[in-house]
Amino acid sequence: MVYYSDWDSFEKAASELFASAADKARYTIKYRNCDAALVLKVTDDATCVQLRTGRLGDIKKIARLHRQLCQSTSLRAEKLKSRQPEFPLAQTPEKASATEKVSSKAGGAVGKQPKKTRGKKRR
């Protein structure tokens, strides 16, 4: 774990790490009340960069970095949604025949359940 002492080098390292391992990278923001410090951590399980700050002036910089990382994450999610699935979702013939058997047992009406009677059964 590497603690950076200045904001500019941390921001550069965090952005590069998040861009290089976009599918594995994550970041956390934690406030330590006992130290009155804010700890930012960006990791991809192999590399970890951290910054501990107690300055109030860094809040806007942290918000800007947070916005930047959120935008890159949302763009990545949109790209994944737009991709076609590798295996098309098709119903196999075995499953189709199983559903036909179930519907034939229910009296041929798909989606209808038999009515329940209260009290004595009528014959």
Residues 6 or more apart from 61 whose CB is under 8 A from it?
7, 11
* DSSP string for residues in 64-112: HHHHHHHHHHHHHHHHHHHSPPSS-----HHHHHHHHHHHHHTTS-TT-
Q: What pLDDT is recorded for position 41?
A: 92
What would the pLDDT profile of 66-107 be if each residue is shown by its tens digit?
888 887 777 666 666 666 666 656 665 565 555 555 555 555
- Residues 6 or more apart whose CB falls under 8 angstroms from that of 79 comprise none
Residues of the chain with pLDDT > 70: what percent?
Answer: 60
